A and B are shown apart, each in its own frame.
Chain A
Amino acid sequence: MVGLETVRLVGDAGEVSTTTAPFAEVASSNAALRAFLHGLPGVDRVGADARAAMLGTRSIKTTAKAKAIDLAISMVDLTTLEGADTPGKVRAMCAKAVHPDPTDPSVPRVAAVCVYPDLVATAVRALDGSGVKVASVATAFPSGRSSLDVKVADTALAVAAGAAEIDMVIDRGAFLSGDYLKVFEEITAIKAACGPAGGAQEGEHSAHLKVILETGELATYDNVRRASWLAMLAGADFIKTSTGKVQPAATLPVTLVMLEAVRDFRLRTGRVVGVKPAGGIRTTKDAIKYLVLVNETAGADWLTPDLFRLGASTLLNDLLMQRQKMATGRYAGPDYFTLD
C-alpha cells in the first residue's frame, strides 16, 4: 500500500494531467468512481469530533507559541471576496500582506492574497517581487452554478491576469446527486485551464489548483472524505474546506478528516496534497489548534505554507496582537494594528 510511484501523464488540455498509477482506472466511469469512493472507510462523527476536541486541548505556550504564531502568519491567505471590493481595497490589503506589522520588520509576510478574478491584475502589480502569491477564486464562485465553459473561461481569465493559485469550487449539486464523474471531469478541466502540469515553461503560466469542497453543504464527514479523495484523484494540489460564504465554514473535525485524506493519499500514491481550512478562523487560539491538528494528524511535513494555508481575513490582526504580547508582555489596543 505504501510507496507507489506518482505517474505524471503529460497530455493535452482537458485530459487528466496528473494521475496516479494505483487509481488509473478509478475514473473510468461513474460506477467505478462511486465504487471507489464508497469503498473508503467510513468516518464516525462522534469519534472524529472527540479526537478534534482532544487535540484542541493541547496547551501551546512560550517558545512553541511564538513559533506557532509566526508559522500561522506565514500560512495566511489574506482574503477579500466582497461585491464591494475595489482596486484601492485590494492594494491596501496587498500592502498589509507584505508587511503585516509596519512597525516590526521581523514579522513574516503572509502566504498569499485571495481575490476575485477581475482584481488579480491589481494584486499582481501590488505584490510584484514581494514573494506573496496571488490566489484567485474562480469557477462561478461561490455557488459554482454555471456551465463548464464559463467556469473554464473564468479560470483562464484569472490565470492570464497572473494568478499563481486558483481556488475553484466543486459542483456540490452534482456531488450530492451522485454524479461524481461530472465533479471529477470539471476539476480536471479546470486543472488543465490552470496551465501545463509540472510547472510553467518559459513564458508560460501555470497555477496551483485549490479545490474548495464547501464542506458545510456536503454535511456528512463521509462526504467530506469522499470529496477529498475525488479532488485529489482529479489532480488537486490543495483541498480547501469552504468558500466562507456558507455556514458552517471550516471546523476542526472537518479539517481532521481532510488531513487524514491527504495523509492516506500520500501513503498510497506518493503525491503530497495541501489542505486549507477557510472561513471562521478568527483567533490565534483557533489558528494554533489547526497547527496542532496538522502536526498530530498529517504530520510535521505539512507544517509549511506550501502544504497548509489558513484562509482568513480578520485572523491576521489577532496573530499580530498576540505576537506583540509575547514580545512585550502587554496587549496593545486595536488601534495599533492596521485595518485594511
Chain B
Amino acid sequence: MFEYAPAPESREIVDIKPSYGLFIGGEWVDSQGENHHKTINPASEEVLAEVAWATEADVDRAVRAARAAFTTWSALPGSERAKYIFRIARIIQERSRELAVLETLDNGKPIRESRDVDLPLVAAHFFYYAGWADKLRYAGFGRRTTDGHSGEDPRPLGVAGQVIPWNFPLLMLAWKIAPALACGNTVVLKPAETTPLTALAFADICRQADLPPGVVNIVTGAGETGAALVNHPGVDKVAFTGSTEVGRMIARSVAGTGKRLSLELGGKAANIVFEDAPLDQAVEGIVNGIFFNQGHVCCAGSRLLVQESVADEVLDALKRRLSTLRLGDPMDKNTDIGAINSAAQLAKIRELAEAGVNEGAERWSPACPIPERGFWFPPTVFTGVAQSHRIAREEIFGPVLSVLTFRTPAEAVEKANNTPYGLSAGIWTEKGSRILWMADRLRAGVVWANTFNRFDPTSPFGGYKESGYGREGGRHGLEAYLAV
C-alpha cells in the first residue's frame, strides 16, 4: 500500500482572537448581556474562541443600525453598490486560504473541501450578485415595458434578518448577504452557534472593504438570538436556512406580520441509478452525494435508489470505493471525511443509525480507524432499507446512506417523491430522454443529471414541500430581496 505521509495545512495563517463581541454599525461592540460561549474545533474539542450570545437588546441595536444604514445604502446607484460587493469578493479571494483554514477549524470539514469547494463558491456568489446590482431593472421584476411606458425600478425590502446553519457557514452567509446587498437591503445575520468564526472574519472583511457602517451586522448566538432577530418588528424580511422544525416555528411567528419569508430546510434526496448509468461515475456521484461534507448537506443524496438489475454490482463497487475514503484530521490535505460538527449532531446520527439496525436494515462501514478525540462517525451504508424505515424517511444529516431498489422508471419516481421533503434529486443514466422524463416528474427543487451536489451562483436553489420555499441563487434569488 502506498501510504500518504501527513500533509497538514498550516494554521499559522489564521489569527483567532480569544474572544469576540458583536459587529454592529460597523464596529465591534460588547454584548449587553453576560452570556458568552466557547466555540470548539470538533476534530479535537480544543477551544478556539469565546463568543457573545446576543440578547434581545443587542439584536434591537443591530436592527436599528441596519435600518439607519438602509436609507443611504438603498439610495446608492446600483453601480456604486456593485463596487463594494466586487471589493468584498476580491478580498475573499485574496484571503481564501485563511478563510478556508478558519472554516475547517471551526466546522470540522476537510480542508480540501473548504479550499476547493466552499471558498471558490463564496467568492463566486459575491461576484455574481455584484454583477446584478446595476441591472435589477432587467431581472424581470418590476419596470414593466409591455405598454411602452417604463414602470418603477424594483425596490429593496429594507432590513433582512438572516439566520444560517453550521454546515457551510461562510457559503450560507454568501448566499444570504450577496443578493440582499445587491438589491439594496441591509442585513443582520446570525451565524450558527457552533460555527461563528468565519462570519466574524467576514465582518472584518466588510471593514476592509469600507462597506458603510450598518449595512452588514453580525450577531452571534443560539436559538434565542435567532428568535429575537426573526421576531423583531423592524425586520422586513426573514431568510432562514436550517431544520424543518425550526423553519416551521419561524413561519408561525412571522405569519401575519407582513414580513417576507424564505426558508431553505431539510431534505431526503433520492439519488437514482439506472442500469444504463455510467457506473464508475455514478459510484463517485453516490459518494459525493452523501459523504461530501460528512453528509451535513441539506440536499445530500441520502437515499440511493438503484435499479435492481445492477444493485449488486453498484453496491460492490460502492463498498470498494468507500474503503479508499480517508477519514481523519480535517486539516490534512488528503482527508476525505472530516469530523461531525458537534456532539449533539453526533448523538442524533447515532440515534438514527441505531434505529436503522433495530428496524432490520443491514449496516455496513469500511474498516477505518476513528480518532480518539473529537466527534466522528464512519461512512455508513444501510442495505435492505424499506420506505417505511425511519432511515428512509427522516433527515439524518450525517454520513449515512440508505439503499433502496426499484424496477421501473415509474417506480423510481414514485419512491423518490414519496417523502415530505423535496429539495434535490439525482438521475444517473446515459439515456438523455429518460433524464428529461424523470426531471419532469421529480418534485425536487434541483434535479442533477449524471452529477450530484454541484452548485453554481447562477443556478437557483430551493425546495418543494417541507424543504421550504423561495429560491436562492441565480436571477430567481433576487426576488427574495425585492419588493415585487
Q: List A residues at the B interface (Cβ < 8 Å).
A: 1, 41-44, 46-48, 50-51, 57-65, 67-68, 71, 260, 291-292, 295-296, 300, 303
A58 near B334 with CB under 8 A, answer yes
Interface contact B333-A59, CB-CB below 8 Å: yes
Contact B1 A63 (CB under 8 A): no
Closest approach, in angstroms, between the C-beta of A56 and any C-beta of chain B?
Answer: 11
**Which chain A positions have C-beta within 8 A of B7?**
59-61
Asked whether A57 and B284 contact (CB < 8 A) given A42-B276, A303-B2, the answer is: no
A-B contact list, 20 entries, CB within 8 Å: A41-B279, A41-B280, A42-B278, A43-B281, A44-B450, A46-B281, A47-B278, A47-B280, A47-B281, A47-B284, A47-B450, A57-B116, A58-B4, A59-B4, A59-B333, A61-B5, A61-B6, A64-B4, A65-B5, A260-B280
Going nearest first, the 7 A-B pairs with the smallest beta carbon separation are A47-B281, A59-B7, A59-B333, A44-B278, A64-B5, A44-B281, A41-B279
User: B: which residues have CB within 8 A of A?
Assistant: 1-7, 112, 116, 276-281, 284-285, 313, 316, 324, 333-334, 430, 450-451
Would you give the shortest CB distance from A36 to chain B, in whole angstroms?
15
Q: How far is the CA of A296 from the CA of B278 in the complex (A)?
A: 19
Q: A41 to B430, alpha carbons, bound, how many Å?
A: 9
Residues of B within 8 A of A64 (CB): 2-5
Which listed residue (B2, B277, B316, B430) contacts A300, Cβ 8 A?
A: B2
Given contacts A41-B280, A60-B7, A303-B2, 18 further A-B contacts (CB under 8 A): A1-B313, A1-B316, A41-B278, A41-B279, A43-B280, A44-B430, A46-B281, A46-B450, A51-B280, A51-B281, A58-B4, A58-B333, A59-B4, A63-B5, A64-B2, A65-B5, A295-B1, A295-B2
Contacts of A59 in B (CB 8 A): 4, 7, 333-334
Within the complex, the shortest CB–CB distance from A127 to chain B, in Å, comes to 28
Residues of A within 8 A of B4 (CB): 58-60, 64
Select from chain A the residue with minimum beta-carbon distance to B3.
A64
- Separation in Å of the A70 CB from the closest CB of chain B? 12
**How many Å from the CB of A275 to the closest CB on chain B?**
15
- What's the Cα separation between A61 and B5 when bound, in Å? 6
Complex formed: what's the CA distance from A58 to B279 in Å?
23
Given A47-B285, A47-B450, A64-B3, CB of A296 within 8 Å of CB of B280: no
In the docked arrangement, what's the CA distance between A295 and B326, Å? Answer: 13
Interface centre among A51, A62, A67, A260 (most CB of B within 10 A): A51
- Residues from chain A with a CB closer than 8 A to the CB of B324 are 296
Q: Is the CB of B5 within 8 A of A62?
A: yes
Residues of B close to A42: CB separation below 8 A: 276-278, 430
Give Cα A71 to B1, complex, Å.
12
Which of A47, A58, A291 gathers most chain B CB within 10 Å? A47
Contact B451–A47 (Cβ < 8 Å): yes
Q: Which residues on A sit within 8 Å (CB–CB) of B2?
A: 64, 67-68, 71, 291-292, 295, 300, 303
Give the shortest distance, in Å, between B281 (CB) and chain A (any CB).
3
Residue of A nearest to B275 (CB): A41
> How far does the Cβ of B265 sit from chain A's closest Cβ, in whole Å?
28
- CB pair B451 A46 closer than 8 Å: yes
Complex interface: chain A residues within 8 A of B3 (CB): 64
Instruction: Establish whether residues A57 and B333, one from each chain, have CB atoms under 8 Å apart when the complex forms.
Output: yes
Chain B residues lying within 8 Å of A67, measured Cβ to Cβ, are: 2
Interface core residue of A42, A58, A61, A67 (most chain B CB under 10 Å): A42
Q: How many Å lie between the Cα of A255 and that of B316 in the bound state?
A: 22
Looking at the assembled complex, report how far the CB atom of B301 sits from the nearest CB atom of chain A, in whole angstroms.
14
Could you tell me if A300 and B1 are in contact, using CB atoms closer than 8 angstroms? yes
How far, in whole Å, are A65 and B333 apart by their CA atoms in the complex?
Answer: 14
Nearest CB to that of B111 among chain A residues?
A: A59
Q: In the assembled complex, how far is the CB of residue A35 from the closest CB belonging to chain B, in whole angstroms?
A: 15
**Residues of chain A contacted by B451 (CB below 8 angstroms):** 46-47
**Closest A-chain residue to B312, C-beta based?**
A1
Q: What CA separation (Å) do A303 and B281 show in the bound complex?
A: 23
A158 to B5, CA, bound (A): 43
Nearest Cβ in chain B — how far from A75, in angstroms? 12
- Contact residues in B for A1 (Cβ distance below 8 Å): 313, 316
Of the candidates B6, B277, B316, B334, which one forms a contact with A41 in the assembled complex, judged by CB atoms under 8 Å apart?
Answer: B277
Q: A60-B7, A61-B5 are in contact. Are A43 and B334 (CB under 8 A)?
A: no
Q: Complex: how many Å from CA A42 to CA B451? A: 14
Min CB distance, B451 to chain A, in Å?
Answer: 7
Question: Distance (Å) between the CB of B253 and the closest chain A CB?
Answer: 42
* A90 CA / B313 CA spacing, docked (Å): 48
Q: How far, in whole Å, are A41 and B281 apart by their CA atoms in the complex?
A: 10
Contacts of A63 in B (CB 8 A): 5
**Within the complex, what minimum Cβ distance (angstroms) separates A335 from chain B?**
31
Would you call A48 and B334 a contact (CB within 8 A)? Answer: no
Residues in B whose Cβ lies below 8 Å from that of A50: 284
> Which of B2, B284, B316 has the most chain A CB atoms closer than 10 A to its own CB?
B2
Question: When the two chains form their complex, are residues A57 and B112 in contact, meaning their CB atoms are under 8 A apart?
Answer: yes
In whole angstroms, what is the CA distance A43 to B430 when docked? Answer: 9
How many Å lie between the Cα of A71 and that of B2 in the bound state?
10
Residue from A48, A57, A295 within 8 A of B281 (CB atoms) = A48
Q: How distant is the Cα of A67 from the Cα of B279 in the complex, in angstroms?
A: 33
**Roughly how many angstroms separate A42 CA and B282 CA in the complex, as a whole number?**
10
> A47 CA to B448 CA in the complex, in Å?
13
CA distance A42 to B278 in the complex (A): 5
| Closest A residue to B280 using CB positions | A260
Write the chain B residue with the least CB distance to A301: B1
B325 vs chain A, min Cβ distance (A): 10
